[in-house]
Amino acid sequence: MKALLALEDGRYFECRSFTGQGEATGEVVFNTSMTGYQEILTDPSYRGQMVTMTYPLVGNYGVNLEDIESNRIQVAAFLIKEYQSRPSNFRATATLADYLKSQGILGIEQLDTRALTRHIRNSGAMRAIVSTVDMDPASLVERANRIPTMAGQDLTPNVTTDTAYYWSNGRPEFLKKEILLDRSVWRQRGRKRSVLVFDFGIKYNILRCLESQGFEVLVVPSATGAGTVNAMSPDGIFLSNGPGDPEPVSDAISTIRQLLGFRPMFGICLGHQLLGLALGAKTFKLKFGHRGANQPVKNLLTGRIEITSQNHGFAVDLDSIRDHDVEITHINLNDNTLEGFRHLTYPVFAVQYHPEASPGPHDARYLFDRFKDLMDKQ
């Protein structure tokens, strides 16, 4: 079915839908990973975005019930060069097209993804609309310019959990609100270390990594206040990834600031940005973001280079860090942006990339060990 993708700056691309009729809007971004499209589709950090893959052949291994990072597809639309309709993989339970159609997500192929990626690379990520209904370029461009920008939006309420839950044996166990503050519930479960996870749009594999460390993992809504956390008295606090601009997430920033020094704290991606803001730094929007499984990062503490998986459009401004107790630990080697820091007084640290990435490099899995070491020292 013929389709048309139009960007806010007037550029448009002819393409086809492999999921039937429909329309989608959002910010267009690109991902350079060669595999992992199901993980990308279900990553809550992509909420409000249409993702194009730079690797041309997509769908060849189908989809399954295991390689998901949340309970639904999060992207607004999926834009690829060539769709493979006959998957060949022993784990496959459905085709990519069937998976997208089951959740009403538009899948687009026969798109010049190379040209689109180069355009975004030169001009920056931008708002766009893709449609099989409205095929008038001028109309679509005008409509694209009416789409709200990512900057200034707090998207965490759209992806956070409504109810607190334990992550146990690879799945959630939801809690009744009246027992949320019952600290004895954690003791009855018999684990030595308890981690309270702020869900700003968390990926399941982060929870898998925390559980693999032997932690008792409790996930709470993003709006959970400092008083509740103090009452629960966990052994550690984790700040998750998530979508959108970090600066409007003001309540969470205030909560994090109140919790500094209370317990060891570890932040990833949006959690990294929120922790930076809580420590007085500023954030800014990257031109086209970092999205892919091949981002080189230098660990300034060891001198080693880590190949990392990333997905973010905002970053902490390195020059805005004024706290002398904040030590820069990681730098992106492509553009010298901040990738990690730690505090020399408070037991807190954060990284911008995803050490839990799967599929993807595992160079940074040691960070979960570091989090455990901080709790042991407490």
Residue 182 and residue 164 in contact, taking contact as beta carbons nearer than 8 Å: no
The 3-state DSSP composition of the chain as helix, strand, coil percent (nearest 5) reads: 25, 30, 40
Cα–Cα distance for residue pair 69/214, rounded to 1 Å: 20
Residues forming a β-bridge with 348 = 265
Structural contact between residues 58 and 34, judged by C-beta atoms closer than 8 angstroms: no
Closest by CA to 32, choosing from 68, 7, 56, 15, is 56
Question: At 138, which helix (H) or strand (E)?
Answer: helix 137-144
Compute the distance between CA of residue 122 and CA of residue 120 in angstroms, rounded to an integer.
5
Longest CA pairwise span in the chain (Å): 63
* Catalytic, out of 109, 247, 306, 356: 356
At 192, the amino acid letter reads K
Q: Give the residue from 346, 160, 177, 154 showing the smallest Cα distance to 266.
A: 346
Residue 15 annotated to the active site: no
Active site residue 327: no
- Point out the catalytic residue in the list 269, 290, 312, 343: 269
Residue carrying structure tokens 């010298």: 336
Rounded Cα distance between 220 and 217, Å, is 10
Contact indicator for 247, 270 with CB cutoff of 8 Å: no
Contacts of residue 335, defined as CB under 8 A and 6 or more positions apart, other chains included, come to none
| CA distance readout (Å), 222 to 48, 215, 249, 284 | 18, 20, 9, 22
Is 356 assigned a catalytic role?
Answer: yes
Report, in angstroms and rounded to the nearest whole number, the Rg of the chain calculated over CA atoms: 21
Alpha helices in the chain (DSSP H): 37-41, 96-102, 113-123, 137-144, 183-189, 204-212, 226-232, 250-259, 270-278, 366-377
Residues serving a catalytic function are 269, 354, 356
